[in-house]
Amino acid sequence: MSWTIKKEEKYSLYTPLDLSEEALIDAFELLDSVDNKIVDCSKVSFTEPIKQIVLKIYEAAQKTKQSFIVVVGNKEALEDLEELFVVVPTISEAIDYIYMEELERNF
């Protein structure tokens, strides 16, 4: 399992190729915190193990001063996850969030 990765100047957009829980956990474990990431989880069902691995990666990104934004597909997931890590409803909003964080880090 891996990702479709679209690299841009300020971030990389990751979209999972396999949505099964085991494959997603394996894929998340392969992520590093080297650059700003947007992860398109709009079709992912967030089980407790998936929440925990995403939280772990989010915290690692915070320590290295990198952005880690998760795109979720519905309002219920957004409300459930927003206290754990940064979630937004669309890729466009995730891109805006990355640029806002970049501005804040530069001040």
Answer yes or no: are the C-beta atoms of 29 and 53 closer than 8 Å.
yes
CA angle 56, 39, 80 (to 5 degrees): 65
Tally of domains within the chain = 1
List the beta strands (DSSP E) in the chain. 3-7, 12-16, 37-41, 68-72, 87-88
What would the pLDDT profile of 54-107 be if each residue is shown by its tens digit?
A: 999 999 999 999 999 999 989 999 999 999 999 999 999 999 999 999 999 888
Domain with 90 in it: what CATH number?
3.30.750.24
User: Where do we find the tokens 């690299």?
Assistant: 7
**pLDDT for the residue numbered 2:** 85
Give me 21's structure tokens.
Answer: 């829980």
What would the pLDDT profile of 4-62 be if each residue is shown by its tens digit?
A: 999 999 999 999 999 999 999 999 999 987 899 999 999 999 999 999 999 999 999 99
Whether pTM exceeds 0.85 = yes
Please give the residue range of the domain that contains residue 90.
3-105
